[in-house]
Amino acid sequence: MINIKDLISELNSLADPIQAENLSRFFKTGKGQYGEGDLFLGIKVPVQRTLVKKYKSLTLTDALKLLKSKYHEHRLVALLLMVYRFERVADEVEQKDIFDAYLANVKYINNWDLVDLSAPNIVGGFLVSRKRDILYKLAVSKELWEKRISILATYAFIKRGEVKDTFAIADLLMKDKHDLIHKAVGWMLREAGKRVSEKEEKKYLETRYRSMPRTMLRYAIERFSEEDKAHFMSR
């Protein structure tokens, strides 16, 4: 019978020191960087996804044990297991358990890929038909990853044709100083224009583009015509 120890053992057996070193640099784990102290085994994401399918019968309790690991890949697999259960296995009660557990353990969701591959599915997925006050609390948090969760979660709403919360949370994050927030907000604004309404995105940007962080704006207008890009990039 498959258990969490088998998964940990298999993950550890796939460690690649050279790849781990490359990932450590890519995810900025040096002193003072956003991923300071994070440890990598050096396992690529497609391989991790394959293991999630193999160990999909593991429980939420198992996933939470793995989420507290010091290794980045352990935590990502834990989150992908939670996503798998949330989307394919869980009933409404267990979905709430997964959502609650996710937010209760957010300190372990401490890099941008961990957020991006889980927040839209679990946080956004759970809140699609519910009140979204928690996102506004996360958006004004002092924690980088909680703020990124707040805007990435709205991807689930965008995919269903809703942009109101994306625009509102983008406003709360507009003055944030971190490049990873600028990129995330710009990305979600771009998706709002791509998937819902470019007209609405342009309307939103028209009153804000002069004061938006440059990176955020560049991400937001990436799919615009050259003429429109020139307009919005002119201060």
pLDDT at 2: 84
The Cα 101–Cα 116 span in angstroms is 17
Rounded mean pLDDT of 51-71? Answer: 97
pLDDT at 89: 84
**% pLDDT > 70, the chain:** 100
| Confidence category of residue 67, pLDDT binned at 50, 70, 90 | very high
Q: What is the mean pLDDT of the chain?
A: 97
pLDDT tens-place string over residues 135-191: 999 999 999 999 999 999 999 999 999 999 999 999 999 999 999 999 999 999 999
User: DSSP per residue over 41-103, as a string?
Assistant: ----HHHHHHHHHHTTT--HHHHHHHHT-SBHHHHHHHHHHHHHIIIII--HHHHHHHHHHHH
